[in-house]
Each structure stands twice: as structure tokens, then as C-alpha cells.
Structure 1
Amino acid sequence: MILNDSVFGELEYEYGWIKDTTIRFLGKETGITLMIDGEEDGNFDEEQYVAYTSFMQNWEYLQQSFVQSILDYYKQRRHELGYDIEVNENYPLVETIDKILEMVDLDGIVVPYGDMCEGRDIRFTLNCTWDTENGLGIRMLNEIVTEVGHQDIAI
């Protein structure tokens, strides 16, 4: 089933509404999947529209803020696993945002149901070189990163 929504554009229903699209991520065009939680009837929550519209208006600023969160998460994870002491080729020493950006690719943007959290809720899925099985997920609420972890936190 295909729906043409005035805010999200043309979506296809596959246990939720999706579309493959391109977004500018840190200076380069990146192919992603946009995923909107919703039932087959295609009626979305007002909060979903507000969250997505705010996200798109603030995207340039937001991507900078979550890149620092990725670097912080990576450093913490590397320490928790003991790879700051013992060498592991999947978890090299990374000190800069430029270096961490070489290790991640934005894969998807999720707009969850509006009643999941109070506020504008947007989530991101990323592929990362250090954990190809679990990937990386980021949750933002009201344009602030609230959680970074495995990809399943975003879905």
C-alpha cells in the first residue's frame, strides 16, 4: 500500500510506513530509510508531524550535536570493554570527531508514535565499524540526545 502524505511524502506500508530517501549528512548526500510508526490506515499523530518538521528545520545543527555524543559513547564503550588497555582492532583509539565520522554511516531516521514520549521524539540508526552486528542507535527528545546505544534503542 502506498500513501502520499503532505509532510512525509510518498510512503509504503511494510509493518510501518517507510521510504528510501536522501539526506545531507555532514556535508555529503546519504541514502537512508525514513521510518514512520503508524497503522495501515495512514493516520499519523500530530506529535509525529511536529517532531519531524522540527527535526528537518534544525537538521544542520542537530547532526553536529549528536556526532559528539557518538564519540563520547564510543570512548565509554571502548573503556567498558577494556580496549583502552588491551588492543582490539575493532576499537582503535579515537580522539576526534573527524575520526569517528569515518567509522559511522547514517542508515535510517525513525519517527515513533507521538505518545511514546513527552516531546519531539526522533531516532536514528547508524552502521558502525566497531559493532557491525548491533549497529548504533541514537534517541533525541526535543532536539537533545537522550540515549546512545545499540541500534535497537532507535527502532
Structure 2
Amino acid sequence: MNINDPIFGELEYEYGWVKDLTVYFFGRECEISLMVDGEENGEFSDEQYAAYQALMLNWAYLQQNLLQSIVEYYKQKRHELGYDIEVNDHYPPIETQDQLIEMITLDGIVVPYADIFDERDIGMTFNCTWDIENGVGIRLLNEKVAQIGYQDVAI
């Protein structure tokens, strides 16, 4: 089943509403999945629309904050696993955000039901070279990084 939503565009229902979307992440074109929580009737809340529109409006500005948060998360993970002392090819030392950009790929944007948080709520998933199985997930509240971890944080 497909719908054409005025904000999200053409969506297909697959246990939730999805569509392929092209976005630019640090100047690179990325094919990602937009996943919008919703029932089969295709009705979404004003809060979901507001969260998605705020993300898109602030996308250029947000990218820098996202990347900085992932750098900090990576360094913390690397330290927790002891790879700041013992060499591991999957967790090389990084000093710059440019090095990290080579290690991650934006995979998806999740617009969850608006019933958990009062703020505008968006999830983002990334694939990464250091943890192929779990990736990286970010939860944004009011366009600020609220939580970062494995991809399930974003869903």
C-alpha cells in the first residue's frame, strides 16, 4: 500500500511507512531510508511533521554536531575496549572529523511516534567500519543529540 503524504512524500507501508530518500551528508550524496512510525491508515501526528521539518530545515547546521558526537562516541568506545592501548585494525586512532567521515555512512532517518518525549524526536542510523553488526544510532530531541549508541537507539 502506498500513500502520498504532503510532508513526507510518497511512502510505502512495510510494517511502518518507508521511502528511499537522497540527502547530502558532508557534501556526499547518500541514498537512505526514511522510516516513519504510523498505522496503516497513513495518518501522522503534527509532532512527527514538526520533528521532520525541523530536521530538514536545520540539516546543514546539524551535520557538524552529529559528526562531533560520533567522534566523541567513537573515542569513548575505543577507550572502553582498550584499543587506545592495544592496536586493533577496526578501531584505528582518529584525530579529525575528516578521518571519521571515511568510516561512517548515513543509513536512515527515523520519525518515531510522538508519544515518548515532549520534544521533537528524530532517530538517525549510520553504518560504520568499526562495528558492522550494530552500527551507530543517534536520538535527536529538538535537533540536539540526546543519546548515541548502537543503531537501536534511533529506532
Structure-1 separation of matches of 2:11 and 2:136: 24
User: How far did 1:142 drift?
Assistant: 0.3
Q: TM-score, normalised by structure 2?
A: 0.99
How many matched pairs? 155
Aligned partner of 2:66 in structure 1 is: 66
Aligned partner of 2:94 in structure 1 is: 94
Structure-2 separation of matches of 1:3 and 1:66: 31
User: How far did 1:62 drift?
Assistant: 0.6
Matching residue's letter, 2:151: Q
Aligned partner of 1:132 in structure 2 is: 132
SS at match of 2:124: strand
User: How far did 1:56 drift?
Assistant: 0.6
SS at match of 1:74: helix
SS at match of 2:38: coil
SS at match of 1:148: strand
Aligned partner of 2:26 in structure 1 is: 26
Q: Deviations over 1:50-91 (max 9, x none)?
A: 000111100000111110000000000000000001111100
Structure-2 separation of matches of 1:87 and 1:64: 28
Structure-1 separation of matches of 2:118 and 2:62: 19
Structure-2 separation of matches of 1:94 and 1:104: 13
Aligned partner of 2:16 in structure 1 is: 16
Structure 1 runs (4+) deviating above 3 angstroms are none
Structure-2 separation of matches of 1:154 and 1:104: 16
Structure-1 separation of matches of 2:93 and 2:107: 24
Aligned partner of 1:2 in structure 2 is: 2
Structure-1 separation of matches of 2:10 and 2:68: 32
Unmatched 5+ stretches in structure 2: none
Equivalent positions of 1:78-89 (< 5 A) are 78-89=78-89
SS at match of 1:140: strand
SS at match of 2:119: coil
Query: Does 2:141 align with 1:141?
Result: yes
